[in-house]
């Protein structure tokens, strides 16, 4: 009598599924450790979602304007229109400066700092301000022939 064949799949197949989900997960716009090219760069993200059966709309941007070979000004606003706060919106904004600490052939390290404003922290009726500092690191992977068919 024949037995059912054992399932022969990779034990970490769930990892592929998780990586696909992570690639499509909404996240605020941000850039890496490299200074933007001459003329600057803009990154925009827009999301429509539902939370507690209420629709919300979220937009974030990242603007970077180089002011030298190793530094740039950055601005990153974030805005959410929702119906679960009294005012119907929340927002954040960061205005700052990015300085390259190291730049190699395939790697970069930068320090980014700036002033931060947050509206409705904890969903109450006041805002707050502060400072934000980030250490950014990145590496370029070789892609020679990666897209050849």
**Full-model pTM:** 0.68
C-alpha closest to that of 93 among 80, 83, 79: 79
Mean pLDDT, residues 44-63 taken together: 88
**Which residues 6+ apart lie within 8 Å of 27 measured at CB?**
45
Tens-place pLDDT, residues 95-141: 999 999 998 888 899 999 999 998 875 555 567 889 999 999 988 87
Q: Domain locations in the chain? A: 29-139
Angle at 148 between CA 147 and CA 149, to 5 degrees: 120
Tens-place pLDDT, residues 6-42: 554 555 666 666 565 555 555 565 667 788 888 899 9
């Amino acid at each position: 009598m024949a037995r059912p064949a054992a399932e022969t799949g990779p034990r970490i197949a769930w990892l592929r599924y998780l990586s696909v989900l992570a690639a499509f997960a909404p996240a605020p716009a941000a850039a890496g450790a490299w200074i933007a090219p001459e003329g600057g760069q803009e990154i925009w993200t827009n999301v429509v979602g539902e939370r507690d059966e209420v629709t919300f709309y979220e937009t974030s941007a990242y603007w970077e304007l180089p002011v030298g070979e190793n530094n740039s000004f950055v601005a990153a606003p974030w805005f959410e229109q929702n119906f679960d706060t009294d005012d119907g919106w929340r927002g954040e904004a960061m205005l700052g400066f990015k300085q390259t600490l190291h730049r190699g052939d395939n790697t970069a390290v930068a320090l980014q700092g700036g002033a931060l404003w947050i509206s409705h922290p904890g969903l109450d009726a006041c805002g707050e301000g502060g400072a934000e500092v980030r250490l950014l690191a990145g590496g370029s992977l070789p892609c020679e022939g990666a897209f050849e068919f």
